[in-house]
Amino acid sequence: MSKTPTPHIGAKPGEIAGTVIMAGDPLRAKFMAETYLQDPVLFNQVRGMLGYTGTWQGKRVSVMGHGMGIPSIGIYTYELFHFYDVQTIIRVGSAGACQPDLQLEDLVLAMGACTDSNYGAQFQLPGPFAPIADFGLLTRAAQECERRGFRYKVGNVLSSDTFYSENPQTEKWRKMGVLAVEMEASALYMNAARAGRRALVINTISDHILTGAVTTSEQRRSTFTKMMEVALTLV
C-alpha cells in the first residue's frame, strides 16, 4: 500500500520535486510560488500548509510551508524525505539576532544548529548530536551572497523550543558565538542526517534581541526576498 498521501501532505507520488524550499508561514510559500515559479501547481492544502510545484529557470522545484517549531517541521520534513523521496530541503525563515554586529534583514546561513529541544533523544545516541548543514549547499549559498553583495554571516544558530520563555538563556548562547535564535533548523538537520539527504537553513534577521528592533509580519512574509533568491540558485 502506498504511504502517500500522508496524514499531513495530500500530494500524490511525483507531484513534489526533488528539492523543496520551505518556510514556516504557508503564505510565504504562496508568495514564493506566485513571485518566482513558472506554472505553479498547488499540491497541498491539508491543514492550510500550502505547497506548490513549478519551475524556476527551467528547473523543477517545490515550495511549501512547515509551520512553527521543531515538532511541526519534524513531521513535514520526515514525510518529504521518507515518503516523497525528496533529496534536498532548504528552509528560508526568520530569526532573532543575538550578536551586536547583525542588523535587520541580514542573512544568516546556519552552519550548525544548537538546540534546547529533546527532539534528538528519539535517536538514542550515546551523546549529544551536532546538527549541521550540507557543506555543498552552504558553500554555494555563501558564494551567492558574496556575488550579490548581500550582508550575511555563517555560523551557529539556536533552535529553541520556546518563543516566550520564563527563563531566557539568550545571553549564555550569545557568549558561545551563536548568531541568532529560530525554532526549526536542528530538527531539519537531524532528519536530513538520518535520511542521508541534504539540508540548509537560510534565515533573515527579523528582530534583534539586544536592541529591540523588529520587523512587521507583512515584511516577514513578502519583503524577505534575498534568502528566497539565494535558495532558488541552489536548486
Grouped pLDDT means (10 residues each) for the chain, 235 residues? 84 97 96 97 97 98 98 98 98 96 96 97 96 98 98 98 90 97 98 98 95 86 90 98
Task: Examine residue 91 and state whether it is found in any structural domain, yes or no.
Answer: yes
Say which of 85, 116, 161, 207 is annotated catalytic. Answer: 207
Residue 9 in domain: no
Considering the domain boundaries, does residue 5 fall inside one?
Answer: no
- Rounded to whole angstroms, the Cα distance separating 38 from 61 reads 10
The total domain count for the chain is 1
pLDDT of residue 1: 37
- Host domain of residue 69: 19-232
Amino acid at 153: K
Has 207 been annotated as catalytic?
yes
Cell of 172: 549564555
Contacts for 133-140: CB closer than 8 Å, 24+ residues apart: 133/109, 133/189, 133/199, 133/200, 133/201, 134/88, 134/192, 134/198, 134/199, 134/200, 136/198, 137/88, 137/90, 137/198, 137/199, 137/200, 137/234, 138/109, 138/111, 138/200, 140/233, 140/234
What's the CA gap between 174 and 111, in Å, rounded? 16
Considering the domain boundaries, does residue 14 fall inside one? no
Is residue 11 in a domain? no
pTM of the model: 0.96
Q: Is 99 among the domain residues?
A: yes
Specify if 221 maps to a domain: yes
Q: What is the CATH number of the domain that holds 204?
A: 3.40.50.1580
For residues 163 and 85, give the distance between their C-alpha atoms in angstroms, rounded to a whole number. Answer: 32
